[in-house]
């Protein structure tokens, strides 16, 4: 496959579109925005209105500002329930506006407004940030305020929970559009969404719930099966900590498993570069690695509890005896025997409440989820939860899975309107299962047909990419590519992802659409994406 065609033409068109800033300029002033009150009727979901609490003009020559002149606006969206927190948001209104807007997603259980002045998630480092390109940029704290993104106590309030699940996305959009109307005399003609993890779920949620509003989204390693992921954390907790933590694996062995896998599997793609790219072939060999590390009589060998419980849950996931929303009844595992480093914590002892770092990473968020979203009891014990037989909690789990998540495979309205989706998942992700997101993508194809899906969605798997970092921390020109696809109908070209790791800065690989993966041709610079072919 020729990786160069039609890359140069497509990227040229994309960047021309990015830098064409229209003549749209403010018809109002920051002083006139300050104190602006929006009635509840200005927002399409239930609120008691919204208001601008701060509006400051940041001039192009202000110290430290390299983004051009813009108005920085802070605001609050008021709840219906007086006991529910407000939704806090920030919107940046460029003086020279391209009539487009980019909404940015959050992370974890949110509680803070994410950075609205930077690049989109995984966006190319070498191009100006969206605000400097003339985009309105904005985001919210998802409907509650917290110092810690692991704190889920907000979910004890129904309205706060619903805001986190999906409502804050549309409420914030509506408030920002009303503010844009007041400032420019018009609303954006294009609206995009960018996010990773929770923000990736929010991006897919926006496309599913409001396809008439969003023109395109960039969903990066999304927690699409939010319920499945949280229940996977609960399953991991029981696997690791039952029977006095019999399933816990010490950090030195966790590291040995990862290193042994890389040593065995790295060259399956033709390149010894620390990245396992041919994952299908790699997973076919994983059993041999575990058999070797658990051989009877071998010093430090893995135990039965470690292999049959912990490694099984980590590598294979689980299957439920009941179905969640959209028929979901399982969660895929991780490539934990193909080179990723499992996050099982630094100590065997279980803390109450569990703490990520000393305890396994996902366990703390599962504990918060079951306490506050499900049981709604801060004293609920995670280690008392039976995943397969949740008893009276089952109906609550099913209800929540429809309220929080992006597992509906029907994107027909998005497709029919001309909306587009760029979806990126790292194969080395230890936080969001690549196998699970592959399954969700396959369900979309089964529902809509491959031809229809290719009209609006590209799903990329990236070897070495973890949860925003990893062995191959990519950036690519995603916003320009998405905008060019939406505006001009130019499909995403075969294009490189560029590594921003300090140790391997500048190496590149082709962004491969699933089920493709990059295979080294055997000649050429091993760090140059043009030296690879895409194999399916």
- Cα 107 from Cα 453, distance rounded (Å): 27
Would residue 521 count as lying in a domain? no
Same structural domain for residues 272 and 367? yes
The answer to whether position 93 is within a domain reads yes
CA gap 267, 359 in Å, rounded: 33
Residue 467 designated active-site: yes
Quickly list DSSP for 196-228: ETHHHHHHHHHHHH-TTT-SEEEEES---SHHH
Give the whole-angstrom CA distance, residue 455 versus residue 419: 9
232/193 same-domain check: no
At residue 224 the predicted structure's pLDDT band, cuts being 50, 70 and 90, is very high
Q: Which of 492, 491, 526 is nearest to 509 (CA)?
A: 526
Indicate the pLDDT class of residue 15, thresholds 50, 70 and 90.
low
φ, ψ dihedrals at 250, nearest 5°: -65, 155
Considering the domain architecture, whether residues 282 and 208 belong to the same structural domain is answered as no
- 376, two tokens: 């709604």
Distance CA 85, CA 117 (A): 25
* 434, part of any domain: no
SS3 (DSSP) at 355: coil
- What's the rounded Cα separation, in Å, for the pair 44 and 175? 10
Element (H, E) at 107: none
Report the range of poorest mean pLDDT among 63-67, 191-195, 378-382, 386-390: 63-67
Confidence of residue 493 (pLDDT cuts 50, 70, 90): very high
**Does the annotation count 44 as an active-site position?**
no
Same domain? 235 vs 99:
no
Peptide bond into 376 cis (omega under 30): no
The model's confidence at residue 24, banded by pLDDT at 50, 70 and 90, is confident
Q: Check residue 429 and give its pLDDT.
A: 97
Neighbour count for residue 382 (Cβ, 10 Å)? 23
- Considering the domain architecture, whether residues 76 and 197 belong to the same structural domain is answered as yes
Residue-wise pLDDT tens digits, 274-327: 999 999 999 999 999 999 999 988 888 999 999 999 999 999 999 999 999 999
Number of residues in the chain: 536
Residues 72 and 156 in one domain: yes
Whether 110 is covered by a domain: the verdict is yes
Number of H helices, E strands in the chain: 17, 18
Residue 148 counted as domain residue: yes
Number of domains composing the chain: 2
Residue of 75, 39, 25 lying closest to 54 (CA atoms): 75
Residues 307 and 337 in one domain: yes
C-alpha radius of gyration, the chain, whole number:
23
In a domain, 415, yes or no: no
Q: Alpha helix (H) ranges present in 317-467?
A: 361-368, 394-403, 412-417, 434-448, 450-456
pLDDT band at 6; cut points 50, 70, 90: very low
Cis preceding linkage at 6, omega within 30? yes
Is 197 assigned a catalytic role?
yes
**Domain range enclosing 304:** 228-403
Instruction: From 397, 381, 395, select the one nearest 238 (Cα to Cα).
Output: 381
Q: Are 194 and 120 in contact (CB under 8 A)?
A: yes
Q: Quick one: angle between helices 251-265 and 286-293, nearest 10?
A: 140
Cα dihedral across residues 38, 40, 41, 42: positive or negative: positive
* Catalytically annotated residue among 269, 429, 477, 483: 429
Q: In this structure, are residues 237 and 363 in contact, taking their beta carbons and an 8 Å threshold? A: yes
Return the pLDDT at 3. 54
Asked if residues 516 and 507 have their Cβ atoms less than 8 Å apart, the reply is no
Whether 528 maps to a domain, the answer reads: no
Task: Work out the percent of the chain whose per-residue pLDDT is above 70.
Answer: 96
Q: Final residue of a domain: which of 373, 403, 433? A: 403
The burial class, CB within 10 Å (0-12 / 13-18 / 19+), for 473 is buried
SS3 74: strand
- Tell whether 428 is covered by a domain: no
399, 504: one domain = no
The phi, psi pair for 313, rounded to 5°, reads -65, -40
Q: If pLDDT is split at 50, 70 and 90, which confidence band does 147 have?
A: confident
**pTM for this model (two decimals):** 0.95
**Residue 411 confidence (pLDDT) above 70:** yes
Q: What is the pLDDT of residue 19?
A: 47
Boundary residue ending a domain (383, 403, 423): 403
Distance, C-alpha 212 to centroid of its chain: 22
**Domain identity same for 174 and 232:** no
Q: Residue 16's pLDDT is what?
A: 47
Q: Are residues 98 and 127 in the same domain?
A: yes
Q: Among all chains, which residue has been given the structure tokens 């895929």?
A: 332
Residues 514-523 have pLDDT tens digits of: 999 999 999 9
Higher-scoring residue by pLDDT: 71, 61: 71
Residues 159 and 11 in one domain: yes
Choose the final residue of a domain: 403, 430, 455. Answer: 403
Do 310 and 239 share a structural domain?
A: yes
Catalytic residue, from 467, 473, 477, 508: name it.
467
Q: CB–CB of 388/321 below 8 Å?
A: yes
**Are 421 and 206 within 8 A, CB to CB?**
no
β-strand pairing of 420-426 with 216-220 = parallel
Distance of alpha carbon 84 from alpha carbon 267, whole angstroms: 54
pLDDT classification of 1: cutoffs 50, 70, 90? very low
Dig out the tokens for 83 from the structure.
């006991």
Active-site hit among 160, 194, 197, 364: 197
């Amino acid at each position: 496959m020729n990786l160069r065609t039609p890359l140069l033409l497509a990227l040229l068109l994309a960047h021309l579109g990015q830098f064409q800033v229209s003549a749209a300029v403010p018809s109002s002033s920051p002083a006139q925005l300050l104190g602006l009150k929006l009635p509840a009727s200005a927002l399409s979901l239930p609120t008691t209105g919204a208001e601008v609490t701060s509006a400051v003009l940041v001039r192009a020559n202000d110290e430290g500002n390299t983004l051009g002149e813009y108005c920085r606006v802070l605001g609050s969206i008021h709840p219906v329930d007086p006991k529910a927190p407000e939704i806090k948001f920030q919107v940046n209104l460029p003086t020279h506006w391209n009539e487009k807007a980019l909404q940015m997603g959050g992370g974890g259980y949110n509680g803070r407004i994410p950075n609205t002045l930077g690049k989109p998630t995984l966006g190319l480092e070498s191009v100006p940030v969206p605000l400097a390109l003339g985009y309105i940029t904005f985001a919210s704290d998802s409907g509650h305020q917290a110092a810690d993104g692991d704190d889920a106590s907000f979910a004890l309030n129904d309205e706060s929970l619903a805001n986190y699940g999906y409502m804050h996305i549309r409420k914030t959009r509506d408030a920002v559009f009303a503010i844009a109307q007041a400032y420019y005399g018009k609303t954006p003609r294009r609206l995009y969404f960018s996010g990773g993890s929770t923000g990736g779920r929010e991006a897919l949620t926006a496309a599913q719930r409001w396809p008439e509003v969003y023109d395109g989204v960039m969903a990066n390693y999304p927690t699409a099966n939010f319920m499945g992921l949280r229940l996977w954390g609960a399953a991991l907790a029981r696997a690791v900590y039952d029977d006095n933590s019999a399933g816990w694996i010490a950090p030195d062995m966790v590291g040995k498993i990862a290193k042994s896998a890389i040593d065995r599997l790295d060259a399956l793609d033709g390149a010894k570069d620390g990245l396992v790219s041919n994952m299908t072939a790699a997973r076919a060999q994983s059993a041999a690695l575990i058999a070797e590390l658990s051989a009877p009589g071998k010093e430090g060998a893995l135990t039965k509890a470690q292999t049959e419980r912990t490694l099984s849950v980590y590598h294979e996931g689980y299957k439920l005896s009941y179905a969640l929303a959209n028929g979901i009844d399982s969660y895929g595992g991780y490539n934990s025997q193909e080179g990723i480093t499992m996050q099982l914590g630094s100590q065997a002892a279980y803390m109450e409440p569990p703490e990520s770092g000393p305890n396994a990473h996902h366990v703390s968020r599962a504990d918060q989820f079951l306490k506050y979203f499900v049981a709604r009891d801060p004293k609920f014990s995670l280690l008392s939860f039976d995943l397969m037989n949740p008893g009276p909690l089952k109906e609550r789990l099913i209800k929540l899975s429809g309220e929080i998540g992006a597992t509906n495979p029907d994107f027909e309205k998005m497709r029919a309107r001309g909306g587009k989706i760029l979806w990126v998942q790292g194969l080395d992700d230890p936080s969001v299962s690549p196998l699970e997101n592959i399954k969700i993508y396959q369900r979309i194809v089964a529902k809509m047909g491959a031809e229809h899906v290719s009209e609006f969605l590209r799903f990329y798997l990236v070897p070495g990419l973890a949860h925003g970092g990893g062995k191959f921390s990519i950036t690519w020109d995603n916003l320009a590519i998405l905008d060019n696809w939406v505006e001009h109908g130019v499909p995403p070209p075969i294009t490189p992802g560029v590594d921003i790791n300090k140790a391997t800065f500048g190496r590149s690989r082709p962004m491969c659409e699933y089920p493709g993966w990059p295979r080294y041709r055997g000649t050429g610079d091993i760090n140059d994406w043009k030296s690879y072919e895409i194999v399916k």
